[in-house]
């Protein structure tokens, strides 16, 4: 009792001190939150605006419009019986000298009737410049392509996924860019056949537009290594092998490391179908994110050794986006939570700031895509740290059901 009475004269000072410490910690958290948000949003915005400006600069290339090389088109397949007929019809429609086209289909241990359907169609068409390779054991996309390289007889090697479809003039538009001695590989721009089918496909189309502007800006500066399997063309002399670790983008990085440029060509487009259900989208995006995360970590290691051929103005923003930004995202959520515990109005203020964005459809799509992308990247980062790998070549059955003759004929693809 005496001890308590002795403590009373100092209690107000102690409580005041605790209060001041609490106010200081809140102020510090608020400053940290502000800095985290500033970095999180400013770096991607600065990258986009800079690359958007660069994308408007004319190409500094020696382009020969009459460049007319022989081409080998490699089509890896795994359980593609639903759409292999459409793919073959699409390839037959290409406007390019037939005697300069070699088609190589690689059946990678399909468990459906892909091989039988394709063999029957080719037998009826009587084209001797078509080869089918049949792998009885599953090799994976890149390993299957490396197997097919042994049979390539052309100057240019082109890869196309079995569920992607080309406009008939794609080779006429694309191949002249490979006439420049500095260019080792080119890729095209993906467009969705079902871009307006659901909010999932709408958000993906919006995201594709954002990424394409960055890839084009990178190409104008030097190179983009974000390649897509729908259309990727390589000079045979530059292509030693396909990267089994990181597929299309890993192969592009290998070509850049051999001192060639790798470009995305905006007028070179191809069409595909994207899942309409969020669950299927997430599966695809996690696989892609894991692959790209490994690519940029590899670039980081090459940079530390002074061996990365890709310019730092391209590498650094991309590495930040894929490696650091998801960490910043988690830090922002955690700091916002701690601030809200001390001052609940902070969370309410945050919601008020978000409200104008969420009231518009475009704003909602951007908010969903940013949140979703960072959560996916966090998943990819955790998977990388724990050495968990995802299947990088897996058929999504939902996308196959959308394809039909009517859909493809509307775009004049068959």
Both tokens of residue 186?
Answer: 């080119």
In the prediction, which pLDDT does 184 show?
97
Average pLDDT over residues 54-80: 95
| Pairwise CA distance, residues 383 & 377, whole Å | 10
Q: State residue 398's pLDDT score.
A: 62
What are the pLDDT digits (tens) for 205-214? 888 999 999 9
Alpha-carbon distances of 258 from 183, 234, 308, rounded to whole Å: 11, 13, 10
pLDDT higher at 368 or 248: 248
Could you tell me the maximum CA-CA distance found in the chain, to the nearest angstrom? 107
pLDDT at residue 11 in the model:
47
Homologous superfamily of 71-276:
Spore Coat Polysaccharide Biosynthesis Protein SpsA; Chain A (3.90.550.10)
- In sequence order, what are the beta bridge partners of 133? 106
Q: What is the pLDDT of residue 297?
A: 93
Q: What is the pLDDT of residues 207-251, one digit of tens each?
A: 899 999 999 999 999 999 999 889 999 999 999 899 988 889 999
Give this prediction's pTM.
Answer: 0.87
Predicted confidence (pLDDT) at residue 395 exceeds the cutoff of 80: no
Tokens 């694309």 belong to: 174
pLDDT at 7 over 80: no
How many whole angstroms separate alpha carbon 128 and alpha carbon 399? Answer: 31
pLDDT: is 306 or 21 the higher one? 306
Asked whether residue 56 carries a pLDDT value surpassing 90, the answer given is yes
């Amino acid at each position: 009792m005496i001890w308590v009475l002795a403590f009373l004269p100092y209690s107000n000072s102690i409580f005041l001190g605790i209060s001041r410490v609490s106010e200081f910690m809140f102020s510090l958290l608020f400053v940290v939150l502000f800095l985290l948000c500033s970095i999180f949003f400013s770096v991607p915005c600065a990258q986009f605006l800079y690359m958007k400006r660069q994308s408007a600069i004319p190409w500094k290339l020696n382009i020969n419009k009459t460049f007319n090389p022989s081409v080998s088109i490699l089509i890896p397949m795994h359980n593609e019986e639903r759409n292999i007929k459409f793919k073959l019809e699409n390839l037959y429609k290409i406007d390019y000298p037939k005697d300069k086209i070699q088609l190589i289909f690689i059946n990678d241990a399909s468990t459906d009737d892909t091989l039988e359907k394709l063999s029957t169609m080719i037998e009826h068409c009587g084209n001797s410049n078509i080869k089918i390779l049949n792998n009885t054991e599953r090799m994976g996309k890149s390993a299957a392509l490396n197997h097919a390289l042994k049979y390539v007889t052309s100057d240019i090697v082109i890869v196309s996924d079995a569920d992607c479809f080309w406009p008939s003039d794609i080779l006429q538009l694309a191949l002249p860019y490979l006439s420049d001695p500095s260019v080792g590989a080119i890729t095209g721009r993906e467009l969705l056949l079902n871009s307006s089918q659901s909010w999932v496909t709408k958000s993906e189309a919006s995201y594709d537009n954002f990424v394409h502007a960055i890839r084009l800006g990178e190409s104008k500066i030097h190179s983009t290594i974000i390649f897509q399997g729908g259309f990727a063309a390589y000079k045979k002399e530059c292509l030693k092998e396909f990267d089994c670790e990181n597929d299309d983008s890993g192969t592009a990085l290998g070509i850049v490391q051999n001192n060639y440029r790798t470009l995305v060509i905006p007028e070179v487009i191809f069409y595909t179908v994207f899942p309409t259900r969020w669950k299927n989208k997430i599966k695809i995006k996690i696989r892609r994110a894991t692959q790209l995360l490994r690519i940029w970590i590899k670039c980081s290691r090459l940079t530390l050794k002074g061996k990365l051929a890709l310019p730092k103005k391209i590498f650094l923003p991309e590495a930040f986006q894929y490696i650091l930004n998801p960490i910043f995202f988690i830090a922002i959520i955690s700091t916002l939570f701690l601030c809200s515990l001390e001052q609940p109005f902070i969370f309410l203020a945050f919601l008020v700031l978000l409200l104008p964005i969420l009231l518009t459809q475009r704003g909602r799509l951007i908010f969903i895509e940013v949140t979703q992308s960072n959560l996916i990247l966090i998943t990819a980062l955790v998977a990388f740290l724990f050495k968990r790998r995802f299947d990088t070549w897996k058929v999504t059955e939902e996308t196959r059901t959308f394809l039909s003759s009517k859909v493809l004929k509307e775009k004049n693809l068959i």
